[in-house]
Amino acid sequence: MIAVDLDSDGDLDLVLANEQSNEILTLYQVQSRGFAGIAIPVEAGPASVIAGDIDADGDVDLVTANSGSGDLTILVQDEAGGFAPAAYGPIAAGETPVSVVAADFDDDGDLDLAYADATASEVNVLYQAQDGTFLPDPLGPLMPHAGTTPSSLVAADVDLDGRVDIAASAQTVNGSVSLFRQAFPGFFIRSSSFPLAPGFSSFVKAADLDRDNDLDFLTQRGVFLQDDLGNFWPSGQGIFFFTNCMELADLDNDGDLDLVDPGLRVFHQEPQGVFLQPPFGTPTVSGSGGSVVVADLDGDGTLDLASAGFNDLTIVFQGVSTRYPLPLETVTCSGTSAGGITMDADSDGLSDLICTGFGGLAARYQVAPRRFSDVQVIAESGSGVWSWVAEDLDSNGLVDVAYSVGDDRTLFVAFQESPRVFIPSKQGALTSGCEVSAAADLDDDGDLDLVCVDSNSGDLFVLVQDASRSFATSEQGPIAFDDAPSTVVAADLDGDGDTDLVAAPLFSYTSDTTALTVLLQQDAQLVHSPQGEVRAGLLTWDILASDIDGDGDIDLVSAGLGIEVFVQTSPGRFEPSPQDCDSRGLILSHITAADLDGDGDVDLAALDRTLDPRGLVFRQETRGQFVIEFETSVPASLSPSGPITATDVDGDGDTDIMITGVLLWGGG
């Protein structure tokens, strides 16, 4: 797959080679981010496609290497923008041409071709004659390293002498890269062949990877850096597993080149010539086949991605941002994680993951940027963790956990005494038959208390913490609800300096809408807002408290059947926002807020469960109005649930969005 402006309209189009259908698919960008396809038949098994002005008439032509029929097809573009095979027909190209490149090899001003023949294990150069036909190199084929099968070609001025050279990677067990330097126009010498790690290498790229002003090589088996004498040496890069091609681009705006593969996994270059494996592991696009393109497809000044698999095409457009959003990646505490939150648990400046799975409550600590430790079990539970919160309960600078486990919903607390060392509370079991929903200072004594919901009655009650890190039921006693709250959020809702609560059920047994109940703290007591209940939709899966409209007070957002925003019109009083949130028809289970695009207002991120799970980023376009800016699929096998968090996971200075260890948005 390649990106090129086929119709000279100023935006990029896409061209894909389909070996199964013996076609080239041209996808024209007929409107910004909208493509329309035209299939062009070619010979059998097009394995590679390139673009260039072959006939020197000022427009783009296409060339395919057809591995099934042993030839090259030249598709010339006519004045009307259509493509048709050149009048001289297919060009014989050995037995199995698998890669083709175009360059002016003989310095006569027109484009010539070179192709790799996998069966004959050779590279052949075809020179363009004055009549536009192509003639084989009279000196014969270029022979790669003995016993190797060329699989990919790159044409570039490797030695900076002003003439184009050719490099071929080998798809054999004992792989190598063979470099053919052009000594003078039309005359190539195989100057070096350097071995790769044992195994296949299906691609080779040439670029200045270490920023020393000469070209280096990227292959599937590693990176080879060119020294001042023109020799190539391994950089120390490991093998790139599970991919058959990669593209280079500066994805994180740090001045050096990074990698992306067809799975849309990003490999950041740190240090020079060494690319870090994706920190969390799971690609956005399944499978290792296909190809990938990195280009500014929509002309907005930022890089976008296109990944062509065996049966589909995925295009990811980047919003206006200063950093490329990493694709979806995951880190789990067990084979399946049922809920997780990202936070700096051990106070070392790096975000960690605390999550639940079948083994109980666990943590994975980020020991270096994008590097996570093995799983540390905080609390084992054979019957699962029903609910939990992670906060610094005892104000020692380290995150503690409160969790409800077992069939009887017994509540325990584990304090982090020192970094990554958790000890059970001396109090033992605090109570049973409850879910823990939030931690907040509700009695104004400077430490955090626990907000719980009775599993049987649905009443809300508070366990206040005393100076000895023990908890007891508050003197206020339980607060009754018509429908048991499934979500409770703590925030200073009325701006008076203390912490209030808002609670809502998932759905109502007594009404056709759910109610957001606002409880304001007055004299260490929780009282209902004078407004009464705030009516929301049929489902309320999650609640968010944040200053959405930028007026300095807290607003409310409910996620369920779409997004509903309730702006605060006076202290403790909330009214539905008149603005649309571009979320009708969606089933959203978790939501968070952060300034994701750096424009000074709050954006939203949510998990959509309408069909297959996917992460959505809603950009605040105008005050209170949100539009979907970015989306990415989430592996259903992970069953992501639990809080969605906005934090700088990888320590690069921008905000990331994670849920249960799934990276939905990697900065921007």
Q: What confidence tens digit (pLDDT) does each residue in 594-603 have?
A: 988 778 899 9
The DSSP code sequence of 324-343 is PPPPPEE--SSSS-SEEEEE
Taken in order 51, 53, 55, 57, the sign of the CA dihedral is: positive
Last residue of a domain, which of 137, 171, 205?
137
Q: Which residues contact 355 (CB under 8 A, 6 or more apart)?
A: 332, 333, 337, 338, 339, 340, 341, 361, 362, 363, 364, 642, 660, 661
Q: Are 186 and 222 in contact (CB under 8 A)?
A: no
Task: Put residue 589 in one of left, alpha, beta given phi > 0 → left and psi -120 to 50 → alpha.
Answer: alpha
pLDDT score at 650:
66
Q: Do residues 658 and 666 touch, judged by C-beta distance below 8 A?
A: no
Of 111, 137, 163, the one marking the end of a domain is: 137
Q: Is residue 526 part of a domain?
A: no
Distances from the Cα of 484 to the Cαs of 191, 384, 585, 603, in angstroms?
A: 76, 21, 26, 30
Amino acid (1-letter code) at residue 65: A
pLDDT digits (tens, 9 = 90+) for 24-60: 999 898 777 778 888 899 999 999 999 999 999 999 9
Digit-coded pLDDT (tens) for 159-197 = 999 999 999 988 765 567 889 999 999 999 988 776 665
Quickly count: other Cβ atoms within 10 Å of residue 411's Cβ.
24
Quickly tell me which residue has 């100057």 as its tokens.
Answer: 191
Structure-model confidence comparison of residues 581 and 505, the more confident one? 505
Q: What are phi and psi of 332, to 5 degrees?
A: -120, 160
Does residue 418 contact residue 398 with C-beta atoms inside 8 Å? yes
Higher pLDDT, 83 or 366: 83
- For residue 132, being part of any structural domain is answered with yes
**Domain membership flag for residue 435:** yes
| Residue from 265, 270, 253, 260 nearest 324 by CA | 253
Q: Is residue 83 part of a domain?
A: yes
Asked if residue 286 is part of any domain, the answer here is no
* 634 found inside a domain: no
- What's the whole-number mean pLDDT along residues 641-646? 72
Domain range spanning residue 473?
381-480
Q: How far apart are CA 220 and CA 222, in angstroms?
A: 6
How many structural domains does the chain have? Answer: 2
**Tokens linked to 242:** 């599970």
pTM (two decimals): 0.59
| Domain's final residue, options 480, 496, 518 | 480
Query: What count of other Cβ atoms lies within 10 Å of the Cβ of residue 610?
Result: 11
Read off the pLDDT band of 652 (50, 70, 90).
low
- What are the tens digits of pLDDT across the range 75-106? 999 988 899 999 999 999 999 999 999 999 99
The CATH number linked to 128 is 2.130.10.10
pLDDT at 592 over 60: yes
Task: Check whether 271 has a pLDDT greater than 90.
Answer: no
- The CA dihedral of 400, 495, 472, 343, to the nearest 10 degrees, is -10
Read off the tokens for 248: 């280079």
- pLDDT at site 196: 60
pLDDT tens-digit series, residues 477-511: 999 999 999 999 999 999 999 999 999 999 998 88
In the β-sheet with 460-465, what is the strand arrangement from edge to edge?
A: 434-440, 449-454, 460-465, 471-473
Q: Are 276 and 268 in contact (CB under 8 A)?
A: yes
Token pair for 113: 């071709």
Half-sphere exposure of 354 (CA within 13 A, CB side): 25
In a domain, 366, yes or no: no
Is 536 a domain residue? no
CB 294, CB 271: distance < 8 Å? no
Structure tokens at 204: 């080779």
Least confident of 19-23, 539-543, 629-633: 629-633
